[in-house]
């Protein structure tokens, strides 16, 4: 009986340790791909040109030196 119990216990330990290492699909992290924006040199002059046009419109917008009276 002791021999049967020892064989049963050793078989249980062997089987449980064999089941302990179940293969699980590895978790794969996604590879991050970073695309750099292409530098377009064609539009580099648009913002300064627009600012210059706005500045010129503000400076040369006209004069309000003449005062008109509502009463004639």
pTM of the model: 0.32
Share of the chain above pLDDT 90, in %: 8
CA distance 18 to 12: 10
CA distance 31 to 29: 6
Residues 23-42: tens digit of each pLDDT: 677 788 888 888 887 666 66
Cα angle vertex 31, ends 27, 37, to 5°?
160
For residue 49, what are its two tokens? 């040109």
> Using DSSP, how many helices (H) and how many strands (E) does the chain show?
2, 0
CA distance 8 to 14: 10
Work out the average pLDDT over 34-58: 81
pLDDT of residue 63: 62
Q: Report whether pLDDT(3) > 70.
A: yes
């Amino acid at each position: 009986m002791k021999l049967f119990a020892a064989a049963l216990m050793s078989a249980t330990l062997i089987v449980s340790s064999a089941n302990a290492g179940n293969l699980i699909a590895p978790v794969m992290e996604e590879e991050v791909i970073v695309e750099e924006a292409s530098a377009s040199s064609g539009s580099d002059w648009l913002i300064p040109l627009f600012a210059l046009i706005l500045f010129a419109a503000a400076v040369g917008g006209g004069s309000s030196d003449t005062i008109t009276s509502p009463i004639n």
